[in-house]
Structure 1
Amino acid sequence: MIPPLRALRLAALAGAALCPAIVAAQVDPAATGTSKPQPVPIIDTIAPPRDVAYPGTITLKVDATDVVHGVFRVTETIPVASGPLTLLFPKWLPGDHAPQGTIDKLGGLVITADGKTIPWTRDLVDVFAFHLDVPAGTTAITAAFQYLSPTAENQGRVVMTPEMLNLQWDSVALYPAGFYTRGITFKPSAVYPEGWTSATALRPSGPSTAKGGLIDYAPVAFDTLVDSPVFAGKYARTETLSPRVTLNVFADKPGSLAITPDELKIHRALVDQATKLYGAQHYDHYDFLLALTDRLGDIGLEHHRSSENGHDPDYFTKWKDNPAGRDLLAHEYTHSWDGKFRRGADLWTPDFRTPMRNTYLWMYEGQTQFWGKVLSARSGLMSQEEALDALAVTAATYEYLPGRAWRPLIDTVNDEIINPRRPMAYRNYSRFEDYYEEGQLIWLEADSIIRERSKGRKSLDDFARAFFGVKDGDWGEQTYDFDEIVKTLNAVQPYDWATFLKERVFDVRPHAPLEGITRGGYKLVFTDKPGVYQTSAAEKSKTASFTYSLGLSVGKEGAVTNVVWDGPAFNAGITIGTKILAIASQAYSDDDLKEAITAAKGKTTPIPLLIKQGDGYRTVDVTWNGGLRYPHLERTTKGPSSLDALYAPKK
């Protein structure tokens, strides 16, 4: 059978054959001009990676002491043979799932050998590559350059302040093309400001001072080096969570380092609950790197034997007031199993130039989001009330997501490549990285099915142990595909898992997968009061959410930060960036808007808002009479709940 589109094209050609005048009109040179250039061929001049060892060890020295200017100074000595050589700057970064290497911040590159400068040429197609000709008889070259880290947020993520720094080795290293990164050995060292404490999954090659100065690290494969960032700072605290796991805390001010015995106990419980869940550890040691700061750029990034985490300065000192975001450490820790040890087959790449394909991020991030929330509840990072409140927000977000009408979840796995987290006008309609939270809902439903069909004897815990808990102590990578996911699920509990996953991941679905909540003994409801997690999130973001009433959120000074596509505010002509100046004749405040929404409930009178858009002022009427609405989970059964059982600590 001829595909419909091709059939139309053939019919058009047949019609043209019967009408020579039409054909002549289509190809008349006078209609398009006579100059018709042809494209210059694009030739890849960079050698593909081979799974062989690079001859010799590359010495990498980083001076990280210029915290005033935010400059890392790099000297790299590379064993070479004479002839053509291509050096690469890391482009496709693990954990970013996208070509987000910071090549724009490399400066001052000078390559020398035997005291003479060797000219280099940047590749015209891949700007992350530098070509040079090594002179005859040369056995080593030296590359000297600087990493010009951002000094303000509008330049990128700030990684160096007068109080702390975040050294990411992919920003300060060049590597030779033509080799798997696991076959390139580096001997790294770094100099930190005097008196500073540093922490990383790397280990020193010999005795070193704990407070600043030069630290020589043991030789390591380049992929492991990139996977082993450093936090260093003036104010630091280190706590042992288990024989193999350490919590390294850095802060803008020493007062933020105060940790109560109960808070420390909770973080130790996180390690204990994860070990009980997976039944294995895929690291020889693990370092939590935690920055309590509002000066260093925010981060949450996974690594095999460590994680980079950023929290507000009052993470410990106002513990009870800040449940929002407290699952961060549990999420990034889970990635040691899911994402680092087990990884989608097309996401693993042999070097940092080969493009990554994100087919399995609904597994990589979706199940990590699921276990991050579960481990947070089981360990006490979040109370069960806080965990349920967070789940209610997720359920409401995806049940009322306008973008569900046109875009399947699987397409959002491309978002980090399409848009590396730049601001968006209508995110809820475009959809964005929904494989995280909607992925969580899918795996919650899978857990409920397993519990129901096995009569409580099994759960998704059994899948986690079977899928992620193999090969205890192995911190290499083991890839998987769709068939292995389905096969492992069926080994835990027989079911049509292939169809289950295909419908929820690959199909356009009008409703969110909330069956895990309803089967778990709860339902999504709305009240006029926000929950404890929602209140914390609003305080953390300095934003008042009216998402499920007016369909907008408001930040500082009445600035609109989010608008729901086709919602009441949208239909009144309000957009992100609009500034609400007044409600009727009263100057704007969050509390006054709440009162106006409450007063309009059940009435036909719209809510008048004076707004400013650009340089223009106007009054708009927002039609909404449903009152304030905040999502919650309400218990529907009196007996045992599989959702409660999921969040209960493992014995």
Structure 2
Amino acid sequence: MTRLRLLVALTAFTGLVSPAFAQPQPEPMPIPPSVPEPQDHPFPGSLNVSVDATDTAHHIMSVHEIVPVPKDAMEKGEMTLLYPMWIPGDHSPTGVIEQFGGLSVQSGGKKIAWKRDSVNVAAFHIPVSSATPTLDLHFQLLSPVTPAQGRVVMTPSIVNVEWDQVALYPAGYFTRDINVKPSVHVPHGWQIGSALRAGTYGDETHFNDVPFNTLVDSPIYAGRYFRKWQLNAPGQTPVSLDVVADDPDSLNATPAQIEAHRNLVHQAVAVFGSQHYDHYDFLLALTEELGGIGLEHHRSSENSAAPGYFTEWDKTFPERDLLAHEYTHSWNGKYRRPADMWAPNFNTPQRGSLLWVYEGQTQYWGNVLAARSGLVTKEQGFEALALMAATYDNQSGRLWRPLEDTTNDPVIAQRAPLSWRDWQRSEDYYVEGQLMWLDADTLIRKLSNGQHSLDDFAKLFFGTNDGSFITSTYRFEDVVTALNTVQPYDWAKFLHDRLDAVQPHAPLDGLLNGGYKLVYTAQPTSFIKAMQAARHTTDLTFSLGVAVNAHGTMGRVHWMGPAFKAGITSGETILAVNDMAFSPERLIHAVTDAQKDPKQTIRLIVKSGEHVQTITIPYHDGLRYPHLERIAGTPDRLSEIYTPRK
């Protein structure tokens, strides 16, 4: 070894490398210049967005878009176009940028090379000059062919056009300041339902000009089998039920069923005392092929249900609060919106700190209005409430995570499946928020001796500026002020106690003040039976702590429940129960038999991948299903809440 090599080796060993041989440490590359921030000034000219949605065989929508180039962009030499990512109602960046493809940009017949932003992958930089007064864009939405690839939006009978998926818009502007001329081409003879209104209808429909934010808020259902019912009385603000279906028989609604939907409109307007739309379209897909959805818009809502929604009316009631929920959002979420959730465009992050109002109180009114309208019976509404109360009272994750923190879940998980949902918690501000607002309603009724209720809060808070479409934002303090106006109380403490603190039990004072208590019996309610039938599951959540499908695969295992403690994990499959091949009935019998004989355990042979093991569960408390039980001698405030308003 030479003297030089020896010196290098010794200094490296001791960590004393001389400056002559020191290797420089890496330094970060600078972040490229940011995309232009949105400014509140008019975009010059109009976008022209034309969608061809006829290629249902390949599930491809082809888009032709014409974009005027502003003078300041010409002077700068570049124009930036954005693909929408923060979609209102999703509460997270769910834009389907992965389905965007085939982008070609031209001007004056000459092709222009575009460049995607290296940080913001939903931004496209395009060189422009005085020689490029307009940009001619062609691209495709390569929508999912199967549910494994995402939500299916094109089938042989139905197309769901969501404009955020099929349009680019210029950066540097509030989307309310960008005018759009939209059009859509659908298969021959199909009919369209949308909050958009058209100048000309046909296979190619040209809609009236709208701001870009209104366009994104106005999706389309187009279908081979389509029917529209008017739900408003003559002379009232137009409201319609626009239904598409996989087959024509699914559209066979009875007059009584449509009347229940008319009652929904009447009951909602009675609660909120206003209408913040000049027309409203319930968009409803009765389908097993189109991807499921429930998404709010200001003048419409996107909804899906089973094909038997009308034709099997006695079985589909567990899903019939969906329209009531999304309709409520026209007031709560679209008109009144948390200040930190309003954004100037669709690529500005939103914050969901008040989702327990936006979604929690909407969940509350969805359940209540479904019962008041007759979409479900009062008893069915009570059964749904019992199941929700039990589910969240047994929520293991509440031992470590406060409710308010779950308002971050749309960004954290983006509604991806969770391995241990009841321990991790998810978007619990929906249903636990509902229970909290039931607590508030019954407390207001109790304190005011029945003179006031949450109906008064709804009218005061959501009913302002009747007829206005302009979003009205609010903060936590505004909610507290409105509650105190209805009924003086320490509402700030009331809310903080339920939002910020870790509580071992769900907020169930609303049941007690309503005149009921949560109990468990060995018999499932009709609501649970209908849900199990629709989902082809056997739900033993409140006994063994598992929900099992017809083939024995466990979709959910309750954290620290009997099955969990015995070593069972979600996704595993039960092959045998007490030495007999698995069937849902045998699993239920095993639970009831173990209750009768304390010495008898429940033996399961369980398969996980290529591994098989025998599991013994020492459970003896029998079947347990939640119910509401009337507390004798107390005011029945819960029945008052579910009673229709005149």
- Band the TM-score falls in, shorter-chain normalisation: over 0.9
Counterpart residue number, 2:500:
506
Counterpart contact for 2:538–2:550, Cα < 8 Å:
no
Equivalent pair of 2:194/2:221 in contact (CA under 8 Å): yes
1:230 and 2:220 correspond: yes
Give the structure 1 partner of residue 403 of structure 2.
409
- Segment of structure 1 superposing worse, 587-596 or 458-467: 587-596
Alpha-carbon distance in structure 2 between the residues aligned to 1:639 and 1:416: 40
**Contact kept in structure 1, 2:180 and 2:210, CA below 8 Å:** yes
Alignment of 1:93-172 (within 5 A): 93-172=87-166
More deviation in 532-541 or 429-438?
532-541
C-alpha distance in 1 between matches for 2:348 and 2:276 = 25
SS at match of 1:627: coil
| 1:349 aligned onto 2:343 | yes
Query: What's the counterpart of residue 258 of structure 2?
Result: 264
Separation of aligned partners in 2, 1:584 and 1:409: 40
The answer to whether the 8 Å contact 2:158/2:246 transfers is yes
Shift of 1:508: 1.0
Alpha-carbon separation, structure 2, partners of 1:557 and 1:220: 50
Structure 2 counterpart of 1:224, which letter? T
Task: For residue 193 of structure 1, give the secondary structure of its aligned residue in structure 2.
Answer: coil
**Displacement of 1:556:** 3.2
- CA shift, 1:637, in A, is 2.2
In 1, distance between residues paired with 2:224 and 2:535? 27
Q: Which runs of 5+ in 1 are unaligned?
A: 1-24
Q: Which whole-Å CA distance do the structure 2 matches of 1:208 and 1:405 have between them?
A: 56
Per-residue deviation at 1:323? 1.3
Q: Which runs of 4+ in 1 moved over 4 A?
A: 25-30
AA aligned opposite 1:177: A
The one-letter code matched in structure 1 to 2:135 is I
Q: Which residue of 2 aligns with 1:598?
A: 592
Task: Give 1:214's match in structure 2, choosing from 198, 204, 215.
Answer: 204
Asked if structure 2 preserves the Cα contact closer than 8 Å seen for 1:324 and 1:540, the reply is no
Of the candidates 422, 436, 439, which is equivalent to residue 416 of structure 2? 422
Q: 2:479 aligns with which of 470, 473, 485?
A: 485
Give the Cα–Cα distance (whole angstroms) in 1 for the partners of residues 331 and 154 of structure 2: 30
Contact 2:578 2:590 in 1 (8 A): no
1:614 to 2:604 alignment: no
Match of 1:556 in 2: 550
Contact 1:185 1:222 in 2 (8 A): yes
How many angstroms does 1:606 deviate by? 1.8
Q: Output the CA distance in 1 between the equivalents of 2:17 and 2:400.
A: 42
Are the counterparts in 1 of residues 332 and 362 from structure 2 also a CA contact under 8 Å? yes
- Structure 2: gaps spanning 5 or more residues: 1-12
Which of 375, 379, 382 is equivalent to 1:385? Answer: 379
Aligned CA RMSD, in angstroms, stands at 1.5
1:102-145 CA-partner distances (Å, limit 9, x unpaired): 11101110000000011000000000000011133221111100
**Residue matched to 1:241:** 231
Alpha-carbon shift at residue 540 of structure 1 (Å): 1.5
For 1:170, the aligned partner's letter is D
2:550/2:583 contact within 8 Å kept: no
2:34 corresponding residue in structure 1: 45
2:8 corresponds to: none
Among 642, 645, 649, the alignment partner of 2:637 is: 642
1:7 equivalent in structure 2: none
The Cα of 1:35 is off from its aligned counterpart by: 4.8
Instruction: Note the C-alpha offset of 1:511.
Output: 1.1
Q: What do the CA deviations read for 1:413-471 (whole angstroms, capped 9, x no partner)? A: 11111111111110000000000000000000000110001000110000000000111
Whether 2:188 is the aligned partner of 1:194: answer yes
1:75 alignment counterpart:
64
- Residues 453-493 of structure 1: per-residue CA shift (max 9 Å, x gap): 10001100000000001111111200000000000000000
Deviation per CA, 1:527-558, whole angstroms, max 9, x where unpaired? 01110111111111111101011101001310
* AA aligned opposite 1:367: Q
How far apart, CA to CA, are the structure 1 residues paired with 2:226 and 2:15? 73
SS at match of 1:54: coil
Q: 1:626 aligns with which of 606, 621, 624?
A: 621
CA distance in 2, matches of 1:241, 1:44: 51
CA distance in 2, matches of 1:354, 1:140: 26
AA of the residue aligned to 2:642 = Y
Residue identity opposite 2:209 in structure 1: P
Deviation at 1:208, TM superposition (A): 2.2
Q: 1:353 offset after TM fit, Å? A: 1.0
Superimposed CA distance per residue, residues 588-635 of structure 1 (whole angstroms, 9 cap, x where no aligned partner): 111111111001015143210011011011111012100000000000
Q: Output the CA distance in 2 between the equivalents of 1:160 and 1:316.
A: 23
Provide the residue aligned with 2:460 in structure 1.
466
Q: For 2:278, give the aligned amino acid.
A: D
**What amino acid maps onto 1:404 in structure 2?**
R
2:7 alignment partner in structure 1:
none
Give 1:41 deviation, angstroms. Answer: 2.0
Shift of 1:357: 0.4
| Contact 1:70/1:160 (<8 A) preserved | yes
Q: Give the 3-state SS of the residue equivalent to 1:377 in structure 2.
A: helix
Q: Please point out which of 426, 440, 443 is paired with 1:432.
A: 426
Secondary structure of the structure 2 residue equivalent to 1:316: coil
When the two structures are aligned, how many residues end up with a matched partner?
A: 622
Q: Which amino acid aligns with 1:227?
A: D
Tell me the CA shift for residue 89 of structure 1. 0.2
Provide the residue aligned with 2:6 in structure 1: none
Q: 1:442 aligns with which of 422, 432, 436?
A: 436
1:283 aligned counterpart, secondary structure: coil
| Whole-angstrom distance in 1 between the partners of 2:644 and 2:607 | 51
Q: For 2:532, which of 515, 538, 542 is the aligned residue?
A: 538
Q: Give the counterpart letter for 1:218 in structure 2.
A: N
Partner Cα distance (2:411, 2:308) in 1: 33
Give a deviation string over 1:187-243, Cα, whole Å, max 9, x none: 0001111010111000012x423xxx1110011000000000000000011000004
Question: Where does residue 54 of structure 1 map in the other structure?
Answer: 43
Q: Distance in 2 between matches of 1:600 and 1:407?
A: 34
Taking the aligned partners of 2:61 and 2:332, their CA distance within structure 1 comes to 32
State the Cα distance separating 1:26 from its structure 2 match. 13
Equivalent position SS for 1:526: strand
Per the TM alignment, residue 640 of structure 1 is displaced from its structure 2 partner at its CA by 3.8
Matched, 1:283 2:277: yes
Q: Structure 2 counterpart of 1:301, which letter?
A: L
75-84 or 634-643, larger mean C-alpha shift: 634-643
User: Structure 1 residues 29, 175: closer, same or farther in 2, change over 3 A?
Assistant: farther
Tell me how far apart the structure 2 counterparts of residues 37 and 548 of structure 1 sit (CA, whole Å).
56
1:314 lines up with 2:308 in the alignment: yes
The structural deviation recorded for 1:165 is 0.7
- Which runs of structure 2 are paired with 1:351-370 in the superposition (5 Å)? 351-370=345-364
1:368-379 equivalences in 2 (<5 Å): 368-379=362-373
**2: CA distance between counterparts of 1:300 and 1:404?**
26
- In the alignment, what sits opposite 2:9? none
SS at match of 1:301: strand
CA distance in 2, matches of 1:502, 1:523: 24
Query: Any conservation in 2 of the 1:404–1:510 contact (CA below 8 Å)?
Result: yes
What amino acid is aligned across from residue 617 of structure 1 in structure 2? V
Distance, in Å, in 1 between the alignment partners of 2:555 and 2:623 is 18
